[in-house]
Structure 1
């Protein structure tokens, strides 16, 4: 047996054993309650179901985490990359087996019949085809099996002789890994839909929080386990680099776990008094383990990384020791998570099923509240932090950045946070006007702050490209983000994309779905912000440079957007603002030309869209006219190419304008970096 296999089995055993111990301790009180309720199934189902859940979590984490590690940290031509794909494939196969066991035991738990009793086979097949929980379990098994096959197929193509490896084959392998990552993440969704988060109890939907939590935990746990198993496959010079890259992934996972865990835990608890319940006790224990893991992360970043760079051999042994200890704590957290999944939250145990909705609050009453969204809370926090980190790195390099761009960025991020987490998020459950305000602010207002802040330019100036074939921040920006921007560089094309998003928002079931679930809300808000930024960026591009859009083209796009908003405003002005309860009547938007839409009769949703559209489009038109007439400010005396010293804010802004004006939609980040360097450095 290969040493890497032995290390993988040993590391996995540490996680599993520690998880089983934590599971037994945490689940023992609830097991007695379930044993009384499930009198026909026996202890095999009572204890088998959380045990299968634990194995499911560990196997899924090993599959997803090792794939993420392979894509972002391991060179695609090395042994470690191939080993990570094998590890992910085997883990996905175990994931499928654990998922099948979970589905089988879930059926017996719901049906309360003895294992392998007469007639249970036919009932189980009916469970897989007719019951949502059974269909989701079968889908999870299918996804895990596909991930396993895909990992083995990609590894086979990546394991070709080095002499036959080309840039095209490397890209093909990485695309296969990306697809496997997306499938692995999708495989976590059915389990979240079967959890307390979406069980219909008397607590808010927190399905997205659970999926974010599971994906972040999988990346952290699975990546570390894969790194420990594959450490010997990395040469001494590469190990510190891979560990540093993994540390960055772990830091992002830590932030995502903190946000999603806090929101999902609070949704289950409902109040601080519930901390003393069995559910609250397990959450407190998980929080303690999480804090310990945070301390380990600080040790890794402040001590282990430096020692690895000084002494890769001795530092490697220290890293392995600390990593195994960390895996043991992660195993405890995984066992607690499995116990938590089988423990009813106080909000469900005390309130029971959701009662019929009472009086719908007014728009003003709802707008006074707060409802934190896990995705946007994390995105806004990370966006503000990364922008400041980019500024710090740029200044360390001797560069300068206009202060107004920093102000615009943080004002835009603050507005984004308020819209997606404040009163509008609460009110959009009941009022079309809140939906319209949310969509319009994300599409037309927030981009007016974010796009002029030039975050992509800042990232391209401060994030270096990698030379070993791995995918980092620069590669994501250059390969994915800039490609989307290039495709939408023509304002007419961007306006068409904007029209498509509005049609999907208001004339499909997404309107109703987005008001009731976290996934639906994300499906509405994410495209709104993306297409709003793309449309604004197509209008904001400096005049000049290769293949520029003319003023005529931009004004035509603005006129098209005005007509688009006018039509949708007409439709929305006919709808009653206080929507019917989504559990009784479907939300539907229609257009009736015979309706009297005088100002006194128009509903606020349509008026809101017209007002915001008129204000923002007029502002964009005015800015375009000014940018077409005013050239960038000249350099101040003593500044320019070949001059030393820092640039003033006005001159730095002028140089960035020059660099961006000279670049076209297909401009590479390296070219922009070189041009900016030639302007600000001797």
Structure 2
């Protein structure tokens, strides 16, 4: 496929089609594309080690992790990554996958739990990686990064702070800035959704009601961002002002499509997370109720035994009299 260069990144010369966008693009691989493939290999290796030790690991967690890594690769290791440099709509789809779809799938895979179960224990050198992971989970930095007062503003800043300021054009104009921005989207999604999904041990825990509140607060702000992009009468960012003339792209119409993607893309991920939290909440309430029932049953048995003992003692005293 013929290609040219745009802002330091290789992009195709032909207009995008579904067939072209998802062809592997070795020249345009980002760091995330490489990490996604390493992530699959590392996860599968850890799962094999765990199974050899006789511990089962849910297949659906493995499927979620692999799918999340493949989603990362699909938007950073194919021609889609090149098209995202010149078309706002393609970039916004990439952004939504990186910040909302891939993080959710990766979190459902519970990689921290898998690592803690797989890494060797002990005080010697083999136990150092596990000890470092536990220290990181309990560190003050981790508690700060996982706090909603940090994660929620960061999540919103990845929309308003990036696109409605000159930051976006600056980052897109530099290959390293572009790599940093893509990684920022993924990390932001992990920090925001991680404590809400609570599929792994996190430095800070929140009750189910608090987790639902954290999830729902940014929903209207996310939707408003998409609407604001859709309704803008001029270009929000200048990076996409000059697509190849032969493509016949209306940049304002493409920007409108980008806004509609941002507006609508948050619905399904939000509903998915909401369902996970609700089912977790109901399961927790059911377990609590069963535990209380067992305690009550044991207490009633003890009270009945004490009552019968008192009756036997009274009968004994009466016989003795």
TM value normalised by structure 2: 0.69
For 1:603 and 1:389, the matched residues in 2 are separated by: 44
**Counterparts in 2 of 1:506-517, with a 5 A limit?**
506-517=163-174
For 2:171 and 2:60, the matched residues in 1 are separated by: 35
Distance 1:603 1:471, change over 3 A: farther
Tell me what 1:620 maps to: 273
Structure 1 residue runs of 5 or longer lacking an equivalent are 1-201, 208-266, 268-356, 583-599, 635-682
Say which SS state the counterpart of residue 217 (structure 2) adopts.
helix
For 2:163 and 2:31, the matched residues in 1 are separated by: 22
User: Alpha-carbon deviation of 1:491?
Assistant: 4.1
User: Alpha-carbon deviation of 1:542?
Assistant: 6.6
The answer to whether the 8 A contact 2:196-2:211 is kept is yes
Tell me what 1:7 maps to: none
The answer to whether the 8 A contact 1:363-1:431 is kept is no
Matched, 1:538 2:199: no
Question: 1:581-615 deviations in whole A, cap 9, x for unaligned?
Answer: 39xxxxxxxxxxxxxxxxx9981111101111122
Distance 1:377 1:558, change over 3 A: closer
Matched, 1:581 2:242: yes
Distance 1:204 1:607, change over 3 A: closer
For 1:525 and 1:517, the matched residues in 2 are separated by: 12
Distance 1:532 1:482, change over 3 A: farther
For 1:518 and 1:471, the matched residues in 2 are separated by: 38
The answer to whether the 8 A contact 1:488-1:535 is kept is no
User: Alpha-carbon deviation of 1:463?
Assistant: 1.4
Tell me what 2:311 maps to: none
Distance 1:558 1:546, change over 3 A: closer
Which of 105, 130, 134 does residue 478 from structure 1 map onto? 134
The answer to whether the 8 A contact 1:366-1:426 is kept is no
Say which SS state the counterpart of residue 630 (structure 1) adopts.
helix
For 1:362 and 1:546, the matched residues in 2 are separated by: 43
For 2:165 and 2:175, the matched residues in 1 are separated by: 17
User: Alpha-carbon deviation of 1:632?
Assistant: 11
**Counterparts in 2 of 1:127-166, with a 5 A limit?**
none
Distance 1:369 1:495, change over 3 A: same
Which of 550, 559, 567 does residue 216 from structure 2 map onto? 559
Which of 416, 420, 433 does residue 89 from structure 2 map onto? 433
Distance 1:502 1:622, change over 3 A: same
Tell me what 1:461 maps to: 117
Say which SS state the counterpart of residue 227 (structure 2) adopts.
helix
Distance 1:502 1:358, change over 3 A: closer
User: Alpha-carbon deviation of 1:494?
Assistant: 2.3
Tell me what 2:282 maps to: 629
The answer to whether the 8 A contact 2:195-2:205 is kept is no
The answer to whether the 8 A contact 1:366-1:427 is kept is no
The answer to whether the 8 A contact 1:491-1:553 is kept is no
For 1:386 and 1:427, the matched residues in 2 are separated by: 30
For 1:449 and 1:536, the matched residues in 2 are separated by: 10
Distance 1:386 1:615, change over 3 A: same
For 2:168 and 2:17, the matched residues in 1 are separated by: 17
For 1:480 and 1:509, the matched residues in 2 are separated by: 34
For 2:220 and 2:197, the matched residues in 1 are separated by: 20
User: Alpha-carbon deviation of 1:204?
Assistant: 7.2
Question: 1:373-421 deviations in whole A, cap 9, x for unaligned?
Answer: 1412320121111111111221232222111111111111111110112
The answer to whether the 8 A contact 2:22-2:74 is kept is no
Which of 443, 446, 450 does residue 106 from structure 2 map onto? 450
Distance 1:521 1:470, change over 3 A: farther
Tell me what 2:256 maps to: 603
**Counterparts in 2 of 1:212-611, with a 5 A limit?**
361=15, 367=21, 369-371=23-25, 372-464=28-120, 467=123, 473-480=129-136, 483=139, 485-541=142-198, 548-573=205-230, 574=232, 579-581=240-242, 603-611=256-264
Say which SS state the counterpart of residue 549 (structure 1) adopts.
coil
Q: Alignment length, in residue pairs?
A: 268
Distance 1:423 1:542, change over 3 A: closer
For 2:264 and 2:36, the matched residues in 1 are separated by: 27
For 1:203 and 1:493, the matched residues in 2 are separated by: 37
For 2:149 and 2:213, the matched residues in 1 are separated by: 8
The answer to whether the 8 A contact 1:375-1:522 is kept is yes
CA RMSD, Structure 1 to Structure 2 (Å) = 3.9
Distance 1:500 1:363, change over 3 A: farther
Distance 1:436 1:362, change over 3 A: same
User: Alpha-carbon deviation of 1:477?
Assistant: 2.6
For 1:435 and 1:469, the matched residues in 2 are separated by: 44
Structure 2 residue runs of 5 or longer lacking an equivalent are 244-252, 288-321
Distance 1:546 1:421, change over 3 A: closer
TM value normalised by structure 1: 0.35
User: Alpha-carbon deviation of 1:440?
Assistant: 1.2
Distance 1:510 1:402, change over 3 A: same
Say which SS state the counterpart of residue 429 (structure 1) adopts.
coil
Say which SS state the counterpart of residue 603 (structure 1) adopts.
helix
Question: 1:210-231 deviations in whole A, cap 9, x for unaligned?
Answer: xxxxxxxxxxxxxxxxxxxxxx
Larger RCO, structures 1/2 (Cα 8 Å, 6+ apart) = 2
